[in-house]
Structure 1
Amino acid sequence: MTEADVNLKAYPLADAHFTKTLLDLVQQSRNYRQLWKGANEATRTLHRGISEFTVMAVDTGPLEITLHLPLLCGDKNVPYVLMHSKQTLEQACGVSRLVITCSVTIKKGFQLK
């Protein structure tokens, strides 16, 4: 998949500055234990109503794994954004496996808002 194909299909795609801000926020939420990694856990947080926002990688294969998430985010009024690379999302989540999506959750009493 080329860069032009990704830009046509992926909306809303984060630019470089917004990607850096998102990765910093994901790292902070990991430190506060407010981060859920993976498509199944992101779906679970959306169904429970505790998701603050969702970040998805564009270079997911097969794409059908994450196609339900934008629809579910729209139903639950939860913002979502797409990033270029699942490898950068992996580094921000602090795991050794590729992360295709993650969800930042709400916990009362924590400093991350």
Structure 2
Amino acid sequence: MAKDKTEDPTLAKKEKKDKKDKKRKHSDIDPTSAIVGDEAVETPAKKEKKEKKDKKRKSLPAADVDADGDIAVVDVKDEDDEKKEDSTAPLAALVPFANPLCGEKEQKKVLKGVKKAAKSKALKRGVKECVKCIRKSPPSNPTTNTATSLPSGIVVLAADISPMDVISHIPVLCEDHGIPYVYVPSRAELGAAGSTKRPTSVVMIMPKVGKGVEEDKEWEEAFGELNKLAVKMGGEVRV
């Protein structure tokens, strides 16, 4: 009788299972690591990658790294966007009746005149002081003012005042007394030009220098130029 050469089915199943286990263990091993004994050791490639990641994390500010040590995503604003926001933000705070409002060129001339007036002690600051001076001024027509017949003063108001009722009555007083007035966008810049540390809502430039200061022909010419600019801007109504 010939010998039966068929294999034991249980033995074949066992060999098949061992092959699958070996294959699974091989796939679980990280290709960048090597096994020494029972522990996995980092290969040079993995170690170099980890060092690069640590250096990048150390170079970032603390705010850009979260609690787990991972790099956090930070929303970075463009410089052009910040400039746009800065340029448009003050416009929303301007009073609606700011007319005539100085442009960039006119603002430089007006603030330069305010600085000269402060040096010559020919400047009134604040609502109370300016209103008092306006009421004492004789009524006149600003359109008829000339180099020889100048107004009692020139009023410069800040357009970013809140609440607006603080200065809303001043333009009416100026028109009643024939005093030209203009608006500048920033009260902080107006205060700085008037040699004060605080923002100023309104200043009044006087035609004559204050006490203790010698008469200056240059200041009279500068006041005449400011008067022409204020009268010209007052004749242009901007809607």
Is the TM value for this pair above 0.5? yes
More strand by share: 1
Q: Which has the larger radius of gyration?
A: 2
Distance in 2, Cα, partners of 1:96 & 1:107: 24
Deviations 1:40-82 (A, max 9, x none): 1111111121841000001111110101100000000100001
Preserved contact between residue 160 and residue 186 of structure 2 (Cα < 8 Å): yes
Distance in 2, Cα, partners of 1:100 & 1:5: 14
Q: Aligned pair in 2 of structure 1 residues 44, 7: CA closer, same or farther (>3 Å)?
A: closer
Distance in 1, Cα, partners of 2:152 & 2:124: 9
Which consecutive residues of structure 1, in runs of 5 or more, have no partner in the other structure? none
Preserved contact between residue 156 and residue 204 of structure 2 (Cα < 8 Å): yes
Give the RMSD, CA atoms, in angstroms: 2.1
Of all paired residues, the percent bearing the same amino acid is 25
Deviations 1:21-49 (A, max 9, x none): 00010000111100011011111111121
| Amino acid in structure 2 at the alignment position of 1:23 | L
Q: Aligned pair in 2 of structure 1 residues 32, 13: CA closer, same or farther (>3 Å)?
A: same
Deviation at 1:4, TM superposition (A): 5.8
Which consecutive residues of structure 2, in runs of 5 or more, have no partner in the other structure? 1-88, 138-150, 210-214, 221-239
TM-score by length of 2: 0.44
Q: Aligned pair in 2 of structure 1 residues 6, 61: CA closer, same or farther (>3 Å)?
A: closer
Distance in 1, Cα, partners of 2:167 & 2:96: 17
Alignment pair present for 1:96 and 2:184: no
Higher relative contact order, chain-length normalized (CA < 8 Å, sep 6+)? 1
Secondary structure, aligned partner of 1:103: strand
Partner of 1:19: 107
1:45 aligned to 129, 133, 146, which one? Answer: 133
Partner of 2:117: 29
Partner of 1:69: 170
| Amino acid in structure 1 at the alignment position of 2:186 | S
